[in-house]
Homo-oligomer: A and B are copies of this chain.
């Protein structure tokens, strides 16, 4: 690849990163190209589909997402690790509107992200088992509840980002107390894993 091409590729990635962070995944391509100081054609030549661009932009964020599960697993107290994990991931959503979309709304199918997602899900399963084993996480917590949290958090975050950027912490505070074993009361059934998967695919056409 020619040197200027590589340079432009980087500029597009950086512009896309900030535009997605501010405006979410449905930001306009024109805006990204404009901010990168590059023609739209250049953007499309390098990233023919939106998925290509999103995949490249969020590769590192997804790595951080996977790393969050690893850190949680490294915590000697699995319940503490779990709480920290939820808070950290919700913080990531609050910090980056595009990433919130990646986690809950549009589910880009870029393969790299897909793999990361699976790895995170695996680690999360182990974490949940351990946390339940300590008796601190309620037994009926389902792994499907995690995307549910992310969707709820996304709702709060998108609504309050400008006016009350920390409002989501209150929601997460409530939820974590509800996840504690002491809070146990019967709950409605969680959605099935398949349902959650389909919900996540929703907008990725």
User: Quick one: copies of this chain in the complex?
Assistant: 2
Distance in Å: Cβ of A56 to nearest Cβ of chain B: 24
A185 to B154, CA, bound (A): 24
Q: Which chain B positions have C-beta within 8 A of A178?
A: 174-175, 177-178, 183
Q: Which chain B positions have C-beta within 8 A of A38?
A: none
Nearest opposing residue in chain B for A105, CB measure: B159
Q: Which chain B positions have C-beta within 8 A of A191?
A: 160, 163-164, 166-167, 170
Q: Is the CB of B195 within 8 A of A164?
A: yes
Taken residue by residue from 135 to 176, chain A's Cβ proximity to chain B (1 for < 8 Å, 0 otherwise) reads as 000000000010010011111101110111011011101110
Q: Which chain B positions have C-beta within 8 A of A187?
A: 170, 173-174, 177
Nearest opposing residue in chain B for A152, CB measure: B152
A198 to B163, CA, bound (A): 6
Q: Which chain B positions have C-beta within 8 A of A4?
A: none
Q: Is the CB of A162 within 8 A of B202?
A: yes
Q: Is the CB of A156 within 8 A of B155?
A: yes
Tell me if A125 is interfacial: C-beta within 8 Å of chain B: no
User: 23 A-B contacts, Cβ less than 8 Å apart?
Assistant: A104-B159, A105-B159, A145-B174, A148-B170, A151-B156, A152-B153, A152-B171, A155-B156, A159-B199, A159-B200, A160-B196, A163-B195, A163-B201, A164-B192, A164-B198, A166-B189, A169-B188, A170-B188, A170-B189, A170-B191, A174-B178, A180-B185, A183-B183
